[in-house]
Structure 1
C-alpha cells in the first residue's frame, strides 16, 4: 500500500534571542570592485552606532533566508544594536529547501566545475559545521539525546557515486576528474571498483565517477541546526561586551511588502522566498524565474529482505538520485514538472503514482536491487529555477528598489535572493554571506556582476 505524507517539519519555539557578531573587513572581496577601505567608509554605522536598533526583515526560512540571517548577525559591526525578523508561514525549512535531496558536491555533468564552486563548497561546509555544533550544544538530558539523534541524521559522510549512463556527460566528468578541487576529488573507476563500493550496481559504460568527500545532507535537520545556531550564538559571546542582537521568527505569510511595518521600521527587507518571490505584487512579472515542482519518494526495505543497503556505501547520482538515510531507508528523486504553480508539500495519490512510474525504472537501470524496496511516502517542493547564462544557471541577487513603484523606498532597502534552483545547498552559504555584507553596507557592488545582470535584461 502506498502511503503519502507531507512530512511537516518540527517547529522551533519563537523567542527573541541574541546572536554573535564579528568584523567583516577580513573577508575576501568577491568582485575586486571595492577596496576594504572604501567598503568600510560606506558602512557609516560601523563607527557611530545609531540611537535606535538596525532592523532587518528576512522573508523566508529556507537555505537562502537562514544563511542571510546568520551572516547579518555575524558580520554587523559590534557597536550596533541589531534586530533580525524572519517571516515564514511554514516555519524553518517549511518550503522546498526542507525537502531537498541533500546531495552536496561542487560539480555538474553538464558543465565544468560549477561557477565559484570552490568558494561555495568551502562556505557550505562551514555552515554545516556551525549547524552541527549548535545541535550538539543542547544541555539537558532530553535535549542531549535529541541532539545526538539529529547530529547523526544531519550528514552522511560516505560520498557519492555517479555511474556513467550516457556518452554525453563522460567527457565533462572526465575533465572534472582531472581538474577537481583538492578537498572534493573525483575518482574515475571501472565497473569492478564501483561494484565494490555498491554491490549489484549496474555500470553500463564500465565507468563511474566517485566523489568520496561529497556529502549527503538531511536538509530539514540541517536547517533546524542553522536556526538554532542563530538563536544561541549571542549567548556564547554575551560576556565579551558585544551590543545586543535579537532574532525572531514569525510564522506569518507575507503576501505583499505593504503588509510589513511601515514608516521606516525596517532598514532593509531581504526577500528569500524562492519561487514565491514572483508572487509578490511588487515583483510580479519582473523576475526571470522558471518554476519546477519536484516529487521525492521515500523508499523502505522490508524486514524480510536480508540484503540491506551497505552502511559504508555512497549515495547514487544518475538520471535520478538515491539519497541514503539508513540501511533500509532511501529517498528517490526527483521529478521535473515545469511551470507548475503548486507550492504544497503534500502529494496527491495520482501525483505519487506518476512519480513512481517515472523514477523507479531509472533507478532500476543503475541499481536493480531497488525492486525489493517499497514506496512508503512522497513529498514535493517547488523550485525557483533561474535563467541560463554563459556561467550556468545562476541565482538572482541584488537591490530591487527600482521595482518598488508603488512603495516609498529608501536607498538599498529592498533586496532579492532567489533562484537557487536545484543547487541551494551549494550556493546558499557563500551567496548568503555576500548578500549580508551588501545589505549591511548598502553597497550592491559587493555582489558579483553576473548575479545582478538579470536586472538590466528585466528593464529592457
Structure 2
C-alpha cells in the first residue's frame, strides 16, 4: 500500500482459507537472521534484514496500539505474548537472546571464521571458543571447540507477527483514507479460491502467494519449478522436577535447531520430507514419533540435556522449495500471464520470514508500475526454464 499513487482509490482483498498466520508461515520455528547454515550472508541478505527490522517495528507498534481492538474483531486471534521472544535481565526484558551456532567439525571452523569477518554491522557474527559459548549456554557442546554467535538475531512468534502486521496494514489504510483525498480499503476473506478465473474479473491485479499449495491452481499446476517438502517441528518442555536454567540461553543452530520459547519450553526442528503430498497441519502420533527420533540425536550432539526434555506436541507444514541456481536457491517472482494481471510470489522455502518484506516491496512496485522489469532478473529467471508455459 505504501507504493500506491496518492489521491487514487485502492481496494485490496486478501484471501486465506486457514486464517492469518494459521498455515505454514505461522508454523515455522521463528528463527530470524540473514545468514545461510554456513553463516554466509544470503542473497540480498542486507536488504532483506533491513526490511525485516522495519516490518517488525511496524508490527510491534500496531500490537501495542490496539491489540484489544483486534481481539474484539476476531476472537480466534489473541496477542497472548510478545512478537520477539527476548531473554530476561534482572529488571526488564530488554535484550535479544540471539542465536548460537556451534561448529560440529574442524572443517567448518575456517568457513565460519571467514564469514564472521564479512558479516553485517546490524547483525554481527561473533567468533568464540567453547568456553565463551558455554558462558552463553551452559549446557552447549561445540564438538570442534568453536562457535558463532549472532547476538542480534531473533526468535519471533510468527503467528503473532503476521496478525500484528495485518493490523498495521488496516491502520495504514484507515489513516491514509482520512488524510488524503482517496479511499483505501483492505479486507480479509477466510475463503478458499479454486481458480484464478474466480478473481480475474474483479481486480486490476492478482498476486498469488500460496506457498506449496500454488500447484493446486489449475492455471499454474505443473508449470512451476517448485519442490514440496514437509517439515515437522516438535515442542518440548522441561519436567517441573528437573532444575535446568535456560532463561538466558540463546537459540541454537545445528543439524537440528532449538528455538527457546521460555526457560522450560522450546521448539526442535525440522524434518525434511521431500515430495510429500501431506498438506495437513495435523501430525499423527507415528509421524511425530519418527520426527523426534530423527531430530533428537542431532540436537543432543550439541545440547545433550535435551534428552531430559519431554515431548508435548508436534506441528507441520509444507515448504515450497525453489530450484538451485548459480546465485543460490532464490524465490520466484513475476507475472504469470501475457497481460500481467496475475503475479506470483513463491518458492520462499524455509526463508519466508527473511525474504517476505523485500519481496513484498518488489512485487508491489512491479504491480503498481505494471512493469516486471523492476524485479531483479535472477528472481524471474525461472520463467525461462523449459517447464514454464505462460498462459
Q: Mark yes or no: TM-score above 0.5.
A: yes
Partner residue, 1:391: 327
Distance 1:151 1:133, change over 3 A: farther
What TM-score results when the alignment is normalised by the length of structure 2? 0.92
> Which of the numbers 288, 291, 294 marks the counterpart of 1:355?
291
> Which of the numbers 33, 51, 55 marks the counterpart of 1:123?
51
Give 1:172 shift.
2.9
Structure 2 matches for 1:313-328, cutoff 5 A?
313-328=249-264
Give 1:149 shift.
5.7
Cα distance between partner residues in 2 of 1:140 and 1:360: 39
Partner residue, 1:101: 29
- Unaligned stretches of 5+ residues in structure 2: 87-95
Does the Cα contact within 8 Å between 1:136 and 1:148 map onto a contact in 2?
no
Partner residue, 1:276: 213
Cα distance between partner residues in 2 of 1:348 and 1:140: 35
Q: Secondary structure at the match of 1:75?
A: coil
Q: Secondary structure at the match of 2:355?
A: helix
Partner residue, 1:298: 235
Give 1:396 shift.
0.5
Does the Cα contact within 8 Å between 1:135 and 1:151 map onto a contact in 2?
no
Does residue 155 of structure 2 align to residue 216 of structure 1? yes
Cα distance between partner residues in 2 of 1:84 and 1:161: 40
Partner residue, 2:82: 152
Does residue 274 of structure 2 align to residue 346 of structure 1? no
Cα distance between partner residues in 2 of 1:179 and 1:126: 23
Does residue 174 of structure 2 align to residue 235 of structure 1? yes
Give 1:230 shift.
1.1
Cα distance between partner residues in 1 of 2:293 and 2:149: 28
Q: Secondary structure at the match of 2:301?
A: helix
Does the Cα contact within 8 Å between 2:39 and 2:116 map onto a contact in 1?
no
Cα distance between partner residues in 2 of 1:126 and 1:419: 23
Does the Cα contact within 8 Å between 1:109 and 1:173 map onto a contact in 2?
no
Residues 392-444 of structure 1: per-residue CA shift (max 9 Å, x gap): 10000001104xxxxxxxx2101000000011111110111010110111100
> Which of the numbers 286, 297, 300 marks the counterpart of 2:223?
286
Q: Secondary structure at the match of 1:113?
A: coil
Residues 118-176 of structure 1: per-residue CA shift (max 9 Å, x gap): 000000111111111110001769969x9996452444321000000124543332221
Cα distance between partner residues in 1 of 2:181 and 2:85: 32
Does residue 128 of structure 2 align to residue 189 of structure 1? yes
Residues 435-454 of structure 1: per-residue CA shift (max 9 Å, x gap): 01101111000100000000
Does the Cα contact within 8 Å between 1:438 and 1:447 map onto a contact in 2?
yes
Does the Cα contact within 8 Å between 2:256 and 2:295 map onto a contact in 1?
yes
> Which of the numbers 138, 143, 161 marks the counterpart of 1:204?
143
Residues 48-100 of structure 1: per-residue CA shift (max 9 Å, x gap): xxxxxxxxxxxxxxxxxxxxxxxxx2210111110111111101012110011
Partner residue, 1:250: 189
Give 1:281 shift.
0.9
Does residue 371 of structure 2 align to residue 432 of structure 1? no
Number of residue pairs matched by the alignment: 376
Does residue 391 of structure 2 align to residue 454 of structure 1? no
Does the Cα contact within 8 Å between 1:107 and 1:176 map onto a contact in 2?
no
Cα distance between partner residues in 1 of 2:123 and 2:331: 23
What TM-score results when the alignment is normalised by the length of structure 1? 0.78
- Unaligned stretches of 5+ residues in structure 1: 1-72, 403-410
Does the Cα contact within 8 Å between 2:13 and 2:187 map onto a contact in 1?
yes
Q: Secondary structure at the match of 2:317?
A: strand
Cα distance between partner residues in 2 of 1:347 and 1:378: 6
Partner residue, 2:65: 137
Does the Cα contact within 8 Å between 1:154 and 1:219 map onto a contact in 2?
no
Does the Cα contact within 8 Å between 2:224 and 2:388 map onto a contact in 1?
no
Cα distance between partner residues in 2 of 1:90 and 1:437: 27
Q: Secondary structure at the match of 1:421?
A: coil
Partner residue, 1:25: none
Does residue 303 of structure 2 align to residue 367 of structure 1? yes
Structure 2 matches for 1:408-427, cutoff 5 A?
411-427=339-355
Cα distance between partner residues in 2 of 1:284 and 1:308: 49
Q: Secondary structure at the match of 1:129?
A: helix
- By relative contact order (CA 8 Å, sep 6+), the higher-ranking structure is 1
Distance 1:85 1:238, change over 3 A: closer
Partner residue, 1:171: 110
Cα distance between partner residues in 1 of 2:39 and 2:263: 32
Cα distance between partner residues in 1 of 2:7 and 2:360: 22
Does the Cα contact within 8 Å between 1:386 and 1:393 map onto a contact in 2?
yes
